[in-house]
Structure 1
Amino acid sequence: MKIILDNREITMNDIDNKSFSWVLGEVTDLLERDGRMLFDVYIDGKGMDFYEHFNKEQIGIVEFISKSPKIIILESLGGMSDFISKYFDALMAISASFNSNRITDAVEILFEVENGLEWVYNVLASMKENTAIDFRYPEFDMMFLEYRTTLKKVHECIENADYIGGLTVLEVEMSGELIFVQENLDVYMKDIIDEEINEYKYN
Structure 2
Amino acid sequence: MHYASDQEYALMRSRLAGLGIRYLRDGGSGEAYYRRVRELSQTGGYQWTLVMDPRDGFSSENVPEKGILPILQQVIAVEGPNEWDVQSNLTYQNQKFPGATRTFQAGLYRSVKNFRHSNAAIQAQVRNIRVLTPSLAFHQNANKQGVVEADMGNLHSYPGGTAALPDRGLDDNIRSIRRLLRFPRSRSWPQKQDTATI
Shared fold per TM-score greater than 0.5: no
Report which of the two structures shows the higher radius of gyration computed on alpha carbons: 1
Higher helix fraction: Structure 1 or Structure 2?
1
TM-score after normalising by structure 1: 0.23
